[in-house]
């Protein structure tokens, strides 16, 4: 009888231990769950108010910043750029080459059809580096850019954004036509007097801000 009682006590003790450990496990789980629950929801109004405050601060900083915009005489916009003339040197950017491929346009021939004169497409080191970074998807564009008919323009600066590189070059040397389909770059080029813009419209190249006759009067 004594042995039976001892066995029963042992079995009860083991059951109690098991139930105790099971409860502990549940408690731990509930704690973790409770901890997770305490985190703020990303859609919480309190977070939104903090984000809005940060945005307003950033906007105020931008407004307070002094911008150094180069001043250009308005009379220059009505003058003919005498530095332009055949053979035309056309500065090409990345998206212009890609859009030309999409529209099945052969760059040199399409430029000559647009300008009715000999055209030399020019590509800067920054634009070439941008094409190389785009990877194998743009290998056709890279092959076109490496065409021997393209004039390669070396860049002295390093790590400059391709659009900034083109704008700087055009401001220094106003003997280029800029070929681009990028809206932001077009907007920036329009602020520089005497620089025509070439873009794609209705599956052909069209030019903006170029007088009809070479040597047109001022």
User: In order of start, what are the domains of the chain with their CATH numbers?
Assistant: 91-208 (3.40.50.1010)
Q: What is the pLDDT of residue 216?
A: 41
Mean pLDDT, rounded, of the chain: 78
Cα–Cα nearest to 185, from 82, 96, 110:
96
CA pair distance 181, 183, nearest whole angstrom: 6
Q: Residue 37: CA atoms inside 13 Å, Cβ hemisphere, count? A: 6
Q: Is the peptide bond before 87 cis (omega within 30 degrees of 0)?
A: yes
- Provide the strand spans (E) within 159-214: 176-179, 197-201, 204-208
H or E element in which residue 152 lies: strand 151-153
Is beta strand 197-201 parallel, antiparallel or unpaired with respect to 204-208?
antiparallel
Whole-model pTM: value is 0.63
Q: What is the mean pLDDT of residues 136-154?
A: 91
Task: Enter the tokens of residue 153.
Answer: 């323009």
Q: What is the mean pLDDT of residues 133-161?
A: 88
């Amino acid at each position: 009888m004594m042995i039976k009682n001892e066995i029963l006590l042992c079995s009860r003790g083991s059951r109690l231990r098991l139930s105790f450990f099971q409860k502990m496990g549940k408690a731990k789980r509930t704690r973790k769950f409770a901890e997770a629950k305490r985190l703020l929801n990303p859609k919480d109004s309190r977070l939104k108010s903090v984000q809005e405050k940060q945005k307003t601060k950033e906007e105020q900083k931008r407004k307070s910043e002094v911008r150094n915009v180069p001043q250009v005489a308005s009379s220059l916009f009505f003058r003919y750029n005498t530095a332009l003339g055949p053979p035309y040197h056309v500065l090409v950017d990345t998206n212009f080459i890609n859009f030309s491929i999409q529209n099945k346009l052969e760059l040199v021939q399409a430029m000559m059809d647009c300008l009715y004169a000999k055209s030399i497409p020019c590509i800067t080191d920054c634009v070439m580096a941008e094409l190389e970074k785009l990877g194998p998807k743009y290998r056709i564009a890279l092959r076109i850019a490496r065409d021997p008919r393209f004039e390669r323009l070396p860049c002295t600066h390093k790590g400059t954004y391709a659009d900034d590189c083109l704008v700087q070059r055009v401001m220094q040397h106003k003997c280029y036509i800029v070929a681009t389909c990028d809206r932001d770059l077009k907007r920036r080029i329009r602020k520089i007097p005497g620089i025509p813009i070439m873009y794609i419209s209705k599956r052909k190249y069209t030019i903006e801000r170029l007088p009809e006759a070479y040597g047109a009067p001022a």
